[in-house]
Amino acid sequence: MTTDAPPPVEPAYAAPARLWRALDRHRPPGVDAVDRAWRSPVRGPWLTSVLGAVLLATLPLVIVTGLLDWIAYGPRFDQAFPRDVGWLHPPVFDWPTRPAWLFRVTQGLHVTLGIVLVPVVLAKLWSVVPKLFAWPPARSVAQVLERLSLLLLVGGILFQSATGLLNVQYTYLFGFDFYTAHWYGAWIFTVALVVHVAVKLPRLVTALRGPGFARTPLARTRPEPADPDGLVARRPGPATMSRRGVLALAGGGALLLAALTVGQGVDALRGTALLLPRGRRIGDGPTGFPVNRTAAAAGVTPDRTGSGWRLTVRAGDRTETLDRDRLLALPQHTATLPIACVEGWSTSQTWTGVRLRDLAALVGAAEPATARVRSLERGGLFSRATLHGGQVSDPDALLALRVNGVDLSPDHGFPARIIVPALPGVHCTKWVEGIEFDG
Within 257-276, which residues bind another protein (CB under 8 A)?
A: 257, 260, 274-276
Residue closer to another protein, measured from CB, 207 or 426: 426
- Minimum gap (Å) between residue 293 Cβ and another protein: 6
The backbone torsions φ and ψ at residue 373, rounded to the nearest 5 degrees and listed phi first, read -105, 135
- Minimum gap (Å) between residue 13 Cβ and another protein: 8
Q: 61, 125, 266, 361: which one contacts another protein (CB under 8 A)?
A: 125
Residue 256 near another protein by CB under 8 A: yes
60: Cβ contacts below 8 Å, ≥ 6 apart: none
Tell how far CA 65 is from the center of its chain: 7
Q: Identify the bridge partners of residue 373 per DSSP, sorted by sequence position.
A: 385, 435
Residue closer to another protein, measured from CB, 220 or 326: 220
The stretch near another protein (CB under 8 A) out of 96-104, 117-125, 224-232, 307-315 is: 117-125
| Mask for 217-246, x = binds another protein (CB under 8 A) | -----------------------xx---x-
- Minimum gap (Å) between residue 175 Cβ and another protein: 5
- Minimum gap (Å) between residue 356 Cβ and another protein: 26
- Minimum gap (Å) between residue 331 Cβ and another protein: 32
b/e map 382-404, b = 16+ CB within 10 Å: bbbbbbbbebbbbebbbbbbbbb
Residue closer to another protein, measured from CB, 49 or 190: 190
Residue 15 near another protein by CB under 8 A: yes
CB atoms inside a 10 Å sphere around CB 243: 24
The backbone torsions φ and ψ at residue 50, rounded to the nearest 5 degrees and listed phi first, read -65, -45
Long-range contacts of 57-65, Cβ-Cβ distance < 8 Å, separation of 24 or more: 58/113, 58/117, 58/120, 59/117, 59/193, 61/109, 61/113, 62/109, 62/110, 62/113, 62/114, 62/117, 63/186, 63/190, 65/106, 65/107, 65/109, 65/110, 65/113
The verdict on whether omega for the bond into residue 90 sits within 30 degrees of 0, i.e. cis, is no
CB atoms inside a 10 Å sphere around CB 131: 14
Residue 411 near another protein by CB under 8 A: yes
Class of residue 106 by CB neighbours under 10 A (exposed 0-12, middle 13-18, buried 19+): buried
The stretch near another protein (CB under 8 A) out of 63-71, 142-150, 223-231, 319-327 is: 142-150
The stretch near another protein (CB under 8 A) out of 59-67, 89-97, 194-202, 227-235 is: 194-202
- Minimum gap (Å) between residue 228 Cβ and another protein: 13
The verdict on whether omega for the bond into residue 11 sits within 30 degrees of 0, i.e. cis, is no
The stretch near another protein (CB under 8 A) out of 73-81, 224-232, 290-298, 353-361 is: 290-298
Name which of residues 153 to 192 contact another protein (CB under 8 A): 154-156, 158-159, 162-163, 165-166, 169-177, 180-181, 184-185, 187-188, 191-192
- Minimum gap (Å) between residue 400 Cβ and another protein: 18
- Minimum gap (Å) between residue 313 Cβ and another protein: 29
Name which of residues 28 to 47 contact another protein (CB under 8 A): none
Q: 142, 214, 329, 406: which one contacts another protein (CB under 8 A)?
A: 142
Residue 199 near another protein by CB under 8 A: yes
Residue 151 near another protein by CB under 8 A: yes
Name which of residues 327 to 386 contact another protein (CB under 8 A): none
Name which of residues 45 to 104 contact another protein (CB under 8 A): 86, 88
- Minimum gap (Å) between residue 170 Cβ and another protein: 4
- Minimum gap (Å) between residue 254 Cβ and another protein: 9
Residue 129 near another protein by CB under 8 A: yes
Count, residues near another protein per rule CB under 8 A? 77
